[in-house]
Amino acid sequence: MPESLSGIHHITAITGDAQKNIDFYAGILGLRLVKLTVNFDDPGSYHLYYGDELGRPGTIMTFFAWPGAMRGRIGPPQVTVSAFAAPAGSLDFWRKRLAEKGVPVTEEAERFGEKVLGFADPDGLRLEIIGVREPKGTPWTGGNVPADQAIRAFHSATLAEEGYENTAKVLTDLMGFSAKGSDQNRYRYQAVAGSGVAGIVDVVCVPDARHGTVGAGAVHHIAFRTPDDPQQRAWRDKIATARLNVSPVMDRQYFHSIYYREPGGVLFEIATDTPGFTADQPAGELGKKLMLPPWLEKNRTEIEAFLPKLTL
């Protein structure tokens, strides 16, 4: 049997403007652009990856860049909020920084004993920074945010669902998460295994909410971590045995992936920790130029001519 999943590997969303996306995530939030590549299923568009110094699992926010994409609608069944963890004492810094950069704070709250700042990126993607007393993970120190204030990793993801029971059953009985309590219509689940980085999934039950749609500012899928290929194969067998449709293993160059939909309809992925983003670039060069997988390298000239020019 496979081990319990150790938390979030990455979250992938959609942007309609790659340059504004880079300016926001690398510029304002201070994350490292760890990989500039293309969508392997649509090589005429960028795929952007952000994270810590090495893009370690649990820190990775990724975007399909579809120029001019229409705004998506936020609603079930979707990952409706992606939350980052930062030191508890850093929220005053982030409140001031967001205001200086013209980013409105849309929510200030306390949730499960932790303070929360809510805001949105240029596409309207809902984000949070949550103050954590002892945050795990290593901040990216090469950006323009002081290390003692910087984002460490993901804190959690919020799933909006019409109902929560069947999704909860998959999270706990199949994926090995543990129920950690509730607050009104919010139900919290935490990875049992792992380092404590990016280990939380909140399920919010919103039966009367309008359904979400795919588009700019919406999350495409959420991926969970497994250490290696043998564990991933075991997960695939377990998911299929649970009578959920699951994809074949797909080579994403920096990790291997399988995909399935949980009962509420959110697209889940299980991705391997290996080989990582240094598979085709040394650590010091991550994100500095367009990288293509071997099967697309022969088309580099045409791909580069088609893609919009970016300032990194």
In this prediction, residue 1 carries a pLDDT of 60
User: pLDDT digit string (tens) for 7-42?
Assistant: 999 999 999 999 999 999 999 999 999 999 999 989
For the domain spanning 8-306, the CATH number is 3.10.180.10
In this prediction, residue 120 carries a pLDDT of 98
pLDDT < 50 stretches in the chain? none
DSSP structure class, residue 174 = I
In this prediction, residue 196 carries a pLDDT of 82
User: pLDDT digit string (tens) for 193-243?
Assistant: 877 899 999 999 999 999 999 999 999 999 999 999 999 999 999 999 999
CA distance 110 to 298: 52
Residue spans per domain, the chain: 8-306
Neighbours of 123 (CB within 10 A): 21
And the tokens for 238? 């377990």
In this prediction, residue 4 carries a pLDDT of 77
CA distance 186 to 202: 6
Beta strands at 153-161 and 78-87: parallel, antiparallel or unpaired? antiparallel
Q: What is the pTM of this model?
A: 0.97
